[in-house]
Amino acid sequence: MTIIDITRPLAGDSLAYPGDTAPHFTQRDSGLYLISDIRLSSHSGTHIDAPVHYLKTGLTIDELPLPHLVGPCRVLDVSNAGPFIDASHIKGRTGGVPRILLKTAFSGCTSFREDYPSLTKDAAEYLTKTGTQCVGIDSFSIEAVDCDGTVHRELLSHGCLIIELLDLSHVPEGDYTQVALPLRLTGLDGAPARVILLDKDGCD
C-alpha cells in the first residue's frame, strides 16, 4: 500500500488567506529538551471546515463524524476548468464515491492570488444531491474570494465536510482511500489536518 501525503507543510512562511493569522513558531531550549510555541489560525495550511464555521451553529471540529473523512475517495482533475468549477466539470465523474478531491490549476502554487479556483453554487448543489460526504480542494477555499458564503453553507448544511489547501500536485486522477484527521480542538470552527491517500495500485 502506497501512502501519499497531500498535506501542505505548515511553517512560518506558509500560505495564509488574507486576514487570517499567519503561522508563527518559536522554539526554545529548556536544557534537557526543546519546546515550541505555535500561533496560527484554525484555518491555517491544509485544514478542515466544520459546519459551525459558516452556519454558526451545528457541529464543531471535535464533533465531526470521522467516517465522513476516512474511506474511499476520488481525485478529479479539473485543472482545465479555470477559476470557476461548475457542475458541468464534475457531473457524471463522481461515480457515487462519497469523498471527492478536486485537483485544480492551483496545484503547486506557493503564493496567494485572487482568481484561485473555486466551486460555483450549482457544483456544490450537485455534490450535495449526489450524497457527497466530503469535498476537498487544493486552492485556498472552496469558494471564491468575493463569496457570500453560499457554497460553504450549501455543503456544510447537507453534512458535506470541506477540506481546503490540499497538495494534489503529484496525485493523478483516480480512486484512493482517504484519511483526513483534524486536530481535536474543542468547540472550534476548523483545524489544521494531516491528510493522506492510500493507493493499493501503487504497490510494488
- Residue type for 170, please? H
Q: Among all chains, which residue has been given the C-alpha cell 472552496?
A: 142
Residues ≥6 apart with Cβ < 8 Å to 118: 83, 84, 85, 137, 139, 141, 142, 143, 144, 145, 147, 151
User: Judging by beta carbons within 10 Å of its beta carbon (0-12, 13-18, 19+), is residue 97 exposed, middle or buried?
Assistant: buried
Residue 12 CA to residue 114 CA, distance in Å, equals 21
Catalytic member of 43, 47, 53, 68: 53
Q: Catalytic annotation on 53?
A: yes
Closest by CA to 60, choosing from 161, 204, 171, is 161
Q: Which residues form the catalytic set?
A: 53
